[in-house]
Structure 1
Amino acid sequence: MESWRLEEALYHYHLPMEIERATVEHMERSASRRVVCLLSVLAVLLLQLLGVAAAAAANCSTHCGNIRIPYPFGVEPGCYHDGFNLTCDHSHQLPKLFLGDGTVEVLDISIPSGTVRISSSSIVPTSVASGPSKINQTVRYHTWGGLRKGGPFFISPYKNKFLVLSCSNVQVLLLGGDNTTVNACATYCPPAPQKGQPFQFPMRNECSGIGCCSAAIPKGYTSYSIQVQPAKEISGFDAESSVYIAEEGSYDATRLIFETVNALPALLDWAISNSTCGMKLSAAPASACRSSNSYCQNYTSYVYNGYQCRCSSGYQGNPYIPNGCQDIDECAQWDLHSCYGTCINKPRTFHCQCPDGTYGNPFMEGGCIKIKNSSQGLSIGLVVSGGSVLLLLAFGAPYVTRKIKLRKIKKLKEKNFKENHGLLFQQLISQKVDIGERMIITLADLEKATNNFDRTREIGGGGHGVVYKGILDLNVVAIKKSKIIVQREINEFINEVAILSQINHRNVVKLLGCCLETEVPLLVYEFISNGTLYHHLHVEGPISLPWGDRLRIALEVARAVAYLHSASSMPVFHRDIKSSNILLDDSLTAKVSDFGASRYIPIDQTGVTTAVQGTFGYLDPMYTTQGD
C-alpha cells in the first residue's frame, strides 16, 4: 500500500524520472533486507531446535543392565514413542528393565521381529471356595495380566504355550480378555505304585496330560483368566499346582514337573500406532517409519489394529529412526552370498563375478576356470606369416561373437516374453504399479537363486512341472517351472499370475513374482516348508495329523475359499481344491495353492458357460451350481 501511494504522488507531482527510479530502487533494497533478516531469524530458531533435539537424544538411556533400549522404546521423557515408556530399576545388583510403571520385567527387545521377551510369572490358582465342601461347579481363578489394556503390547499368537502343571484331575480353560474361551487342556496323575514297583512317570520333555498339559494360544490379548472344571471327587487345584503362559521352547517340561519355577519367558508382539498403513505397503506411508529404506506393515490383533515398520529387503537396522535402515553387506557374510568368485556389494543386493583372468560360474566351487594364455604362440605365428589381419581377427572375433550371442539371447528373451503374453500381463498389472515393479523378475536372478536350476534344488514336481527351492533377495522361495508348453497352459499361467497378484490372505500362498524371459514361464512363490496336506494325510506309519489340526486346517481352507468367493475385489473360483493343492507351513497353517485352473466370475454374472476344469470330485459347489 505504501509503494502504491508513493508512485501515485510521484505521478501527480510530475517529479523527474531519475528521482522516481531512485525511489523504486530504494524500496526494493529495503524489501530484500527484510527478507534476508527474516530468513536469518528462522535459521537461528531451526538451529536452536536441532540443538535441543540433539541434547535430548544424548540424554536418553541406551541400556539397562545388559539389555539394549532402542527407539521407539525409552526410559526418560521425550525419549520414547507414546506407550513405549520403560522403567530401569537400579536397586538390583544388575539393573532390571520393566514395561511402563515397572510391573512386567523385560528380558529382550527385538526391533526386526517386532517382539519383546518378558518374564511371565507363574499363576498359582487359589480356590475361592472355603471349608471342606467340594467344588461342583466351574470356579474362576487367578488372572494373568500386567499389560496396558488395549495395547500396544499383546501376547504373540502361536508363539506361546498355555501350560498347566497339576496332579488334580481337572480341565483348565484359558479365557481371553473378552471372556471368550481361547483353549483348554486337562491333567491327570496315575495312582501311587505299590510297594516294590517302580514309579511309572513320563520323562519326555513334553506335556502329554499326565501331570502336565499344554495348549497353543491362537489369540493375542493383553490379559487372560483361567477357569477350572474339576472332577466330582476333587476339591480344586492342589498346593503344588501352577499355570504358565510361556514362550514355546523356552522351558523343560520334565524339570517343571519336579521343580517349582516362579517365572518363564513369554513373547509379546507390539504395534507402533492404532492407524493402518493403507494400500501402498512398500511406500512407507506411515509417519512412524522414519528411515528412507523402510516400509509399513499392518498388524491386526483381536483387541487392537495398528502397524509395524520394517527395513526394506537388503537393509537392516531400526526403521523408526532417520537413516536407521542400513544396507546389508552381503559380501561380508558368507551365508548371504555363497559367492566363490569376487563378491561386490551393492545397495539391496550384491554382484558375484569370476576374478580377472578367469571365466565360468562364480556360484559354484571351482566354477571359475583360468583362461589359458596362448598369446605367445599366436604372436610367433603372426610374426612368421606376417599376417596382421589374422591378429585383428583373433582379437576381434571373441568380442564380435560375444556381441552376437548376447544379441541372440536378448532377442530370444523378447520373443519368449511376447509369446508368454507379457504384454497381457503388463496390462493386467498396469493399474497397480507397485505390484508390477515387484513381480517382474529376470531370468538371471532366478538362475542365481537356484544355482542354474541345479537338480539338487528340486523339491517337488509331477507330470506338469518341477518346483525348485532357491534364495532370492535373502528370502527362501519356491520357483515353479512347467514342462509342457501349450497355449492353454500359457493362458492358465497368466491367469494364475493375475489372480494371485491381487489376493492377500494368510491362508492363500503368496505370489512373489514371475519370469517371462524363458520358453517355459516361471512363477516365484513364498516357500512353504512342510509339504502338502495330502502327504500328511497319507503318511506311512502310525504318525498322522491329530483331529484338532485336521479340523483347524479344514476351517482355514474354508476361510480362504470364502474369501476368494466373497471378500476379494472380484470373486474367484479355484475349481481344484484338493489335499495335494493345500500346503502346510511350519506351524501347520494351511496355504491354498495352484490357481492354474481358477477363473474370475464377475459379481453380476449368473452363469458360467465355459467347460468344467479341475479335478472331478474337488470342484467348488458354487462353481458347479453356476455351471448348471
Structure 2
Amino acid sequence: MELPRVPLILLAAWALAAAAADVPAARSPGCATTCGDIAVPYPFGLDPQCAINAEFRVNCTTVGGATKLFHGTLEVIRFSVPEGKAWLKTFISRQCYDQATATVFYNNAWMNIGNLPYVLSADENKVIVLGCRSMAYMLSDTYIIGCLSTCDEPLRNGSCSRTVGCCQADLPRGVRYYEGFFNSFYNTTAIWRQTPCNYVTVMEMAAFNFSTTYLTTRVFYDADDSRTPVVMEWGITRETCQQAKINRTAPYACVSDHSDCVDGDAGYRCRCSDGFRGNPYIQDGCKDIDECLDNVTYPCAGICENTLGNFTCSCPRGRDMVNGVCVKNRRSTWMAPVVGASVGLVALVIGITCAYLVRERRKLHRVKQRYFRQHGGLLLFEEMKSQQGVAFKIFSEEELQQATNMFEAQQVLGHGGHGTVYRGVLKSGVVVAVKRCTTIDEQQKKEFGREMLILSQINHKNIVKLLGCCLEVEVPMLVYEFIPNGTLFDLIRGDHTRHISLNTRLRIAYESAEALAYLHSCASPPILHGDVKSTNILLDGDYTARVSDFGASILAPNDKSQFVTVVQGTCGYLDPEYMQTYELTDKSDVYSFGVVLLELLTRKKAFNLEGPEQDKSLSMVFICAMKENKLEDILDDQIKNDENMEYLEEIAELARQCLEMSGVNRPSIKEVADKLDRLRKVMQHPWAHEDPEELDRLLGEPSVVNSAGTTGNFSMTNKAAMGLESGR
C-alpha cells in the first residue's frame, strides 16, 4: 500500500529538524572576524548570531582613540582555539603611603568571571606579591592564598624571592573569582621614601620579570593602566566530554570531522585531531595539514606524498633511503659491502639506542632516588625498621599509576587547594584514595618523611587512615583508605528533601570534634589540622564521620608559635586571628569547626559568593542573628521545632563561643566535644523530656572553667548532661 505524500514530507522535515538540533549554529555569513589587530575566532563572535552562545559574545569598542576588545568588563589580548585559552587583562591591588595625609590607602582590585566560560589557568598564572613589607593574599571563591614579601637581602633584577621584595604563590584549579587584600599590619609608613607601595595581582608568569623599579617607583601600577596579563582556560560548557555528548538540551560543539573532545578545568572544549589544523567548532573546519609544504617541521629528503592526517617519504626508483637521505642503489660488486655496512650501521644504531635507553632509565632512577632522599625517605625507612608493626607502605610511582589507570580524569574524586584526589584499586583489590599534592616548600621536604610516620600512627575510628605514600616524585603522593559515602558537605548541601535529623547532625559533629581532640591532645607530637571544613569530613558506610585531608596540617610547635610566610585556607572557615598573626594554633581549628556547626544547623554554605555583601559569610550572618535574637530565622526548617529549640540554642551558643575573634576566648576542641557529647546523651535520655526541672534541681548548679580562665554556669541541658555522664 502506498503511503500518502504529505506525511513523508513531514517526516523528512522532522528528521532534518532533529539533525539540526544536534549541531550548533555556525557563524552567520558576514560576521566580523577581527577587532582592530585582534582575531575573533568562532566560537567567539562580536554579535549574537556570530557567537556559539551568549557567553561567547565579545564587544569591540573604541577607548581613548584605540580599538579594544572586551569580554564582559575584561579587556582581551588574544584568543587561541587550538589551546583553548584566552589572554586577558586584570587589575592590580595596591597599598601605598600618602605623604599629604600621612595615611595608608588601598586599591583592592577584583575579577569575577562567574558568568563567562573561563577559569584562571593554574599552570600559567601565579599570585604575585611585591613590596618590602608586604603580607598580601588573594581571596578566591573557594580559597585564600597569599605570601609574605620582605627586603632582607639586597635587591636584584630578575629574581622573584620573598627576601628581595617579591614572592609568589600557586593558584588552585578552577578559580573563577578573586579579590586582592593586604594585611594592615604591614604598612609602608616607615619606608615610603624607598618603597612607596605594595602590590598583589594574579599574573601570567611568562609575562613577569621582576625589576627593582617595581619597588622604588610606581611604574608597576602605572604601566598599562594598572593592569597585568592573565591566562584563562575556556570551555564550551562546564560539562565533561562524556556528559556533553549525551546532553540533548545543548548541541555538541565538536562538529568538524577529524576533531576531538578535551576535558579541562573550565569544562569541555574541542581540538583538531593530529595531522589536521583549523577550527573544530565549524563544519569541515579541521583541514588536513599538507606536511610536504613544510619541510622544516616535517623533513623529507626524498619524494614527499601527503596522506590524510599524515605523509610518506620515499626515494625515486633506483635509490634507497639511508639515514634519511636517498642514495644510488648499486646492485653490483658494491652491494655486499653496502649491505654489510648498512647492517653494521643498523646494529650500531640499535646499540646506541639501547645504551641511551639504559642511560635514561638509570638517570630516571637517580632522579627518583634524589626525590626519595629529599622527602626524607631514608629517615622514614629507618624509623619504620625501628618501630615494628607500623602499618605503612611506601608505594612506587608505577604502582599508583596502575591503581588509578594513569590518573585518568574519570578516577577523580575531588579537587582541593592542596591537590587532586583519585580513586584507585591496588593489585590486592583494596580500594584507596590517592592524593596528588600540587606543591611543597623546601622546609616541608625536609620534614615530610618524619611527618608521614607520625600521621601513619594516628589510629582513631573517626580519622581517615593514612596507608602510605609515594616519595619518588617531585611532589609526594599520599594514599588513604577509601571512604564510600562522600563528604558532609555533600550530605547537607545535597537533596534538601532528604531529612537529616538533629540526632544525626549532633552525632556527626561530636564524632568530628572527637577526632580533632585526638589530634590536638593524644597524638605525639600534637597535630593541628589547619583546614577543617565540611568537605574534609567524610562519611563511611554507616555515615560515621571521618576527618580527612591533612594537606595543611602542621606538627604543633614546641615554642607555642608558628610564623608562616604563606597563608592559605578556605574562604568562610579561616580563623581571622590567623590572618592577623600568621600563627596557626589549636584555636584556629576550633574556629573552623564552629563554622561546620553552623552548616549543620542551617544547611547553608560557609561562604556564598553570589549573595549580597553582608550575607556572603555564614559566620557573619550567624553573629548578626544572635545579636538581634533572630536565631530561628537562619535555622534549617527540618530541625526547627518546639521540641528541638532548647538544644538548638545550646548548639548555637557553643558555635558562637567557637567563633570568638580572640582565640583565647574560644573553648578547646576537647571542651567542644564534651559539650556535644553531653547534649547528645541528654537528647536520648527520657528524663530530659519528662521532668527537666526536677532533674535540674537534683543535679545542682555545676560550673565549668573555660579556656580563658573564667567560670560560668551551664544551662539546664548542660547540667543534666553532666549529671547523666557522671552517674552512668
Structure 2-normalised TM-score? Answer: 0.44
Q: Which one has a larger percent helix, Structure 1 or Structure 2?
A: 2
User: Could you tell me the TM-score, scaled by structure 1's length?
Assistant: 0.50
Query: Rg bigger for which structure?
Result: 1
